[in-house]
């Protein structure tokens, strides 16, 4: 069960780690052949795992989004964050809140989104991939320094419901370690890729003190690379205390964000992190949420 962390300590080098991840993925694939595994998986109704589509889609989008080393501009990295931003006194039981979330980063393009969010004084939650965190730790520090929340989105976007317990644990623990190392923050939120979870994933999330956060609105920005569509679906779908899914690895999504923020602000929304949304009633590790469950929906 604790094979993952031991392996991580043993293989500190990036190449060795990548090899281990590849082996892990293969192990996970074999595990899927276990007849018990598919029956146990309980994907959410809104999770986007089409027949053979999700893995292919994700792999493709990540390949497209992650620049090769030669493509990385030699511009200076952002200055190391002095630490997390000061917490805000905002009570989402009294004011209207929405939690925007951005998955699968960080990538270099995340910098543009961070500038937009800062200009609008909006705080959001990023669900990060460990392998991207290892590439761009300075972007994770900037996210935290700007007051955003960071959460665990696994190491390499594996479907957790199909992994062995050992592989599942490595996906969570490696990413927790990478985020802590990059930012000093230990995440308390897990977003299972594709929203795919089951009782074993829940138990492992509980072990790592992670509440499972999926979403109430999916604007399908990973499928429709159309800023106007993403903008309309988010604005039309948002209700009080909802969690909204988006992807900062999609440039069309980042381009939609200024208008999304303007329109939702005009409707009276405050843009908060997931932990700010839950406030004094923090989410319970292992439990699964799509929104803050305690407020009547659709209030003005
Ligand atoms: Ni994702």
Q: What is the 3-state secondary structure (H, E, C) of the chain?
A: CCHHHHHHHHCCCHHHHHHHHHHHHHHHHHHCCCCHHHHHCCCCCCCCCCCCHHHHHHHHHHHHHCCCHHHCCCCCCCCCCCCCCCCCCCCCCCCCEEEEEEECCCCCCHHHHHHHHHHCCCCCEEEECHHHHHHCHHHHHHHHHCCCEEEECCCCCCCHHHCCHHHHHHHHHHHHHHHHHHHCCCCCEECCHHHCCCHHHHHHHHHCCCEEECCCECCCCCCCCCHHHHHHHHHHHCCCCEEEEEECCCHHHHHHHHHHHHHHHHCCCEECCHHHHHCCCCCCCCCEECECCCCCCCCC
Q: How far is the CA of 105 from the centre of ligand 1 (A)?
A: 9
Query: What does each of the 300 residues of the chain score in pLDDT, given as a tens digit?
Result: 433 444 443 344 444 444 444 444 443 333 333 333 333 333 333 334 433 333 333 433 443 444 444 444 444 433 334 577 888 889 999 999 999 999 999 999 999 999 999 999 999 999 999 999 999 999 999 999 999 999 999 999 999 999 999 999 999 999 999 999 999 999 999 999 999 999 999 999 999 999 999 999 999 999 999 999 999 999 999 999 999 999 999 999 999 999 999 999 999 999 999 999 999 999 999 999 999 998 655 444
Q: How far is the CA of 33 from the centre of ligand 1 (A)?
A: 23
Q: How far is the CA of 239 from the centre of ligand 1 (A)?
A: 22
Q: How far is the CA of 3 from the centre of ligand 1 (A)?
A: 25
Note the pLDDT of residue 296: 58
Known catalytic residues are 103, 247
Return d(Cα 156, Cα 66) in angstroms, integer.
13
Q: How far is the CA of 95 from the centre of ligand 1 (A)?
A: 29
Note the pLDDT of residue 87: 80
Q: How far is the CA of 15 from the centre of ligand 1 (A)?
A: 23
Note the pLDDT of residue 51: 33
Provide CB contacts within 8 A for 154, sequence distance 6+.
129, 130, 160, 171, 172, 175, 192, 193
Note the pLDDT of residue 200: 98
Q: How far is the CA of 50 from the centre of ligand 1 (A)?
A: 14
Note the pLDDT of residue 132: 98
Q: How far is the CA of 93 from the centre of ligand 1 (A)?
A: 29
Output the pTM of the full model: 0.74
């Amino acid at each position: 069960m604790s094979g993952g962390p031991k392996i991580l300590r043993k293989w500190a080098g990036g190449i060795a780690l990548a090899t281990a991840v590849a082996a892990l993925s293969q192990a996970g694939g074999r595990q899927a052949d276990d007849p018990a595994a598919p029956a146990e998986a309980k994907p959410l109704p809104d999770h986007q795992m089409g027949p053979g589509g999700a893995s292919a889609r994700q792999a493709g989008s990540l390949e497209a989004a992650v620049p090769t080393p030669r493509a990385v501009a030699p511009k200076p990295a952002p200055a190391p964050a002095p630490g997390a931003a000061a917490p805000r006194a905002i009570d989402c039981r009294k004011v209207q809140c929405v939690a925007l979330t951005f998955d699968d980063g960080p990538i270099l393009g995340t910098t543009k989104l961070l500038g937009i969010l800062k200009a609008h004084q909006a705080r959001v939650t990023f669900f990060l991939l460990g392998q991207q965190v290892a590439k761009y730790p300075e972007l994770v520090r900037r996210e935290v320094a700007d007051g955003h929340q960071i959460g665990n989105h696994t190491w390499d976007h594996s479907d957790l419901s199909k992994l062995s317990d050992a592989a599942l644990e490595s996906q969570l623990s490696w990413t927790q370690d990478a985020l802590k190392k990059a930012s000093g923050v230990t995440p308390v939120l897990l977003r299972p890729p594709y929203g795919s979870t089951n009782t074993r994933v829940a138990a492992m999330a509980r072990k790592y003190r992670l509440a499972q956060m999926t979403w109430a609105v999916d604007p399908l920005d990973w499928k429709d690379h159309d800023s106007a569509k993403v903008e309309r679906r988010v604005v039309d779908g948002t209700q009080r205390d909802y969690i909204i899914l988006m992807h900062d690895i999609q440039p069309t999504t980042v381009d939609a964000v200024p208008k999304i923020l303007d329109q939702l602000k005009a409707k009276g929304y405050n843009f908060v992190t997931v932990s700010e949304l839950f406030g004094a009633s923090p989410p319970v590790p292992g439990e699964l949420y799509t929104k803050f469950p305690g407020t009547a929906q659709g209030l003005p």
